[in-house]
Structure 1
Amino acid sequence: MLKNKISLMLVCALSILCIFSGNVLAHHEENHVSMEVNENKSLDLAKHSQSAILIERDTGNIIFDKNANEKLPPASMTKIMTLLLIMEAIENAQLSLDESIRISENAASMGGSQIFLETGEEMSVEDLLKGIAVASGNDASVAMAERIAGSEQAFVEMMNKKVEELGLKSTKFQNSTGLPADDHYSTAHDMAIMAKALLKYEDITKYTSIYEDYLRKGQDNEFWLVNTNKLVRFYDGVDGLKTGYTNEAKFCLTATAEKNEMRTIAVVLGAGSTKERNSDVSQLLDYAYAKYETKPLYEKNQAVTSFEWLKADKQKVNVVTNDSVSILYQKGTDLNKIETKITINQDIDLPVEKGSMVGKLQVMEEGKVISETDLIVKDDIKHANVFQLFKRTFQSFF
């Protein structure tokens, strides 16, 4: 426990652009979100889809909504959560891209979209990742699920636990693939939040942006990968994310694009055809980039402050952002100054693992919080040893 409680409230006046009150879209502010959604009810967007949503990734601000909380089958967009857990496992060193995975009979037996894995075949994590991200391979998804959790059912439990961690109330998974199953559902809103979480792993778009590639290249069983999301080729800035289709779900797509330092996520469910699905998403993205802009404030893992901790092995503790931080505003608005407030927790126990949350960074307009981002420690922090404590105590006398 820190004896000298850290109460660090840094208010940094930034000479950056922001909106006058009412034009700032607020992260996690229900009154602002509701106002923006109601304003867009009259827009003739996503007219071919049963449900849709458009958000800005950094802030999570909702730009457009149509029945976004309606529970529907997500089909292969389910694999967004599968990819999220794969990327987490890679980041946590539980997996490596060059690791070889032996394919089980169960994984090889998956129907629907597949990369035609064979029982006993070995394939690298990276190639399986491509198989999921590009070709929506159900066999590749189950193979990775079995590797990470031991069985697909255990992996599904991890998926639903992650749903809870993300605070999602209208999603439940029964498999890692999106193949039809009772009581397997999500919403446009929840899929957008899952996509937002997945996009924290910037390397994911390295795979989801591939239009065509090959698995087992040069071998007799060479397989041509072609992206099921044609917008990665035909819409400027689109570099992911995941399509879906079943007879029940119809045509679905969670797409992401980045242009002019602004990343958006558009989700549509229940479109009547591939053409209608792509048209609806394209219109949503067109609207976002025609009407809105973002101002980046901090990059992910950017150092924002540090503090001294006498009893820690590293006396100077560096604090970084857990995610990128931006503000979203309408084009052509008069702009104002905003503030950022950095608050470090007053009570922190040693030891502290790298990546642990130790505070918050708030973006504020006229004293009102419009977005909030976790601050984390950059390194593992352990107890100082006796020699370190003696040295620091000695130095404090001089």
Structure 2
Amino acid sequence: MKILTSFITLMSLVCSTLVNAALLDINPLSVEAEAWTILDTQTGQTIAEYNSHAQRAPASMTKMMVAYIALKELKAGHLTKEEIITATPVVKMVQWDESQMYLKQGEQISIDQLLAGLIVMSANDAAVTLAERISGNVPAFVARMNQEAQALGMKDTHFANPPGVTMPDHFSSAHDMALLGQAVTMQTPEYLHYSVLPSFSYNQHFHHATNLVLKSDPSVDGLKTGFTKAAGYNLALTAHRPSGLIESPDRRLIVVVMGAKSGVKRAEIAHKLLNLGYAYTRDEIVIKDKQLIAELPVIKSTLKMFKVEAKKPQIVTTSLYNDPTPIDLMAFDVVNSRVMKSDANGLLTVIHPLVTTQTHLNVELNETSLTAPLEKIIHLAKVNVYQNNILIQSFDIEDEVHIEQASWFERLLEWFKTLF
């Protein structure tokens, strides 16, 4: 058994967290929201969070799930954007004071218009109309919503209706909404063609997008706002910016803010958190494609050693913040995207992001050897990524192993070789 990368030192970037723990330490008192999180979609790592698993009313962020399901149905060929459907009495479920497209029973509308109304106008009648078209009735669609949530690992979530109307058994969390946003942007990116729209009108009803960050940051292209008295002001925000990596040229972060005091405040907080995440973390390739991880001895085969290799590049998110003081978001310089800190004299100084530092890998082999014949998928190894001697991420190395058994004559020859 030969481990080739049991301790690899790479020029990289430093962070000091546990796996899936926050990379940046932000003082929660400096963030004017009840719950929030920052997620890197490429690595699935949480950059920073507070109360991220607290179950809260998601309000119209719920509609991300409706759109996710509808766009999956489009992908599967069960719907087309050009399909015209006739509004049914289900639109009467929507109350006069709810966001809506003002659909009337018997009115005809396309799936494309419903999606735009759902995402840009946050129309509740669009939500229930799509729900009925996809699942036959609203309760069946709600069951589908919860099935999809379970599949995505949204353990803090239970949906009770498609639009996000406040109900005791309708709840989610900042963490789960970020997971949903990750699925939307990676599996159904068509969503972003709607969420980036600055406005949408239908039947002389004109609506400006309530995601105020769209106006000030061209890298922002989604995702969804939400507001009810019970929820406060919610926002799931995402942007795509250059990563500097050839293997993954765009880097997408998602910020979810729940329970802010106003629409302006939720936009301000989410944008600060977004810029902070981009400025003080970075994605780094720690394992290259086809990189040799280890070699395992093979028994009863002419193949002596089996090469354990990475099947794809592995990326980790690392921290560039190297100061013991928690970050004060209120002192974050928005113009320069820099954290500011008061010195002993009360003067503000800049904490610059780190440029490079070192990471290392440690390989834990699950097999000491392989015995032929063998033809199955095997979990061969676990690669742990450390920075500052603290575990920040882990990867499983699996492979479909095909090893033929040596013939009796080949084994006899090998036996004679061992004698001499």
Decide which structure has greater strand share: 2
Counterpart amino acid of residue 219 in structure 2 = G
Q: In 2, are the aligned partners of 1:170 and 1:187 still within 8 Å (CA)?
A: yes
Gaps spanning 5+ residues in structure 1: where?
1-9, 26-30, 216-220, 305-319, 349-357, 376-398
CA distance in 1, matches of 2:124, 2:396: 35
Q: Percent identity?
A: 28
CA distance in 1, matches of 2:381, 2:78: 30
Counterpart amino acid of residue 211 in structure 2 = N
TM-score (norm 2): 0.67
Q: In 1, are the aligned partners of 2:47 and 2:277 still within 8 Å (CA)?
A: yes
Q: In 1, are the aligned partners of 2:20 and 2:393 still within 8 Å (CA)?
A: no
Change (3 A) 1:374 1:255: farther
Counterpart of 2:357 in 1: which secondary structure? coil
Q: CA deviation at 1:94?
A: 1.3
Aligned match of 1:182:
168
Q: CA deviation at 1:372?
A: 5.0
Q: In 2, are the aligned partners of 1:133 and 1:207 still within 8 Å (CA)?
A: yes
Aligned match of 2:57:
73
Change (3 A) 1:41 1:114: same
Select the residue among 393, 413, 419 that pairs with 1:370. Answer: 393
Select the residue among 113, 119, 133 that pairs with 2:105. Answer: 119
User: Bigger radius of gyration, 1 or 2?
Assistant: 2
CA distance in 1, matches of 2:168, 2:159: 9
Select the residue among 124, 147, 167 that pairs with 1:138. Answer: 124
Change (3 A) 1:274 1:161: same
Structure 2 residue 195 is the aligned partner of structure 1 residue 208? yes
Q: Deviations over 1:171-200 (max 9, x none)?
A: 111000001222111111111111111111
Q: In 1, are the aligned partners of 2:115 and 2:126 still within 8 Å (CA)?
A: yes
Moved over 6 A (4+): 14-17, 337-341, 358-363
TM-score (norm 1): 0.70
Q: In 2, are the aligned partners of 1:18 and 1:24 still within 8 Å (CA)?
A: no
CA distance in 1, matches of 2:104, 2:379: 48
Counterpart amino acid of residue 203 in structure 1 = E
Structure 2 residue 357 is the aligned partner of structure 1 residue 334? yes
Q: Deviations over 1:56-94 (max 9, x none)?
A: 111121111111111111110111111111121111111
Q: In 1, are the aligned partners of 2:20 and 2:392 still within 8 Å (CA)?
A: no
Change (3 A) 1:256 1:106: same
CA distance in 1, matches of 2:40, 2:78: 31
Counterpart amino acid of residue 277 in structure 1 = R
Counterpart of 2:20 in 1: which secondary structure? helix
Q: CA deviation at 1:364?
A: 5.5
Q: Deviations over 1:140-168 (max 9, x none)?
A: 01111111101111000001111111222
RMSD after superposition: 3.8
Gaps spanning 5+ residues in structure 2: where?
244-250, 292-310, 321-353, 365-373, 399-420
CA distance in 2, matches of 1:183, 1:125: 29
Q: In 2, are the aligned partners of 1:160 and 1:173 still within 8 Å (CA)?
A: yes
Structure 2 residue 60 is the aligned partner of structure 1 residue 40? no
CA distance in 2, matches of 1:68, 1:267: 9
Q: CA deviation at 1:267?
A: 0.7
Q: In 2, are the aligned partners of 1:256 and 1:266 still within 8 Å (CA)?
A: yes
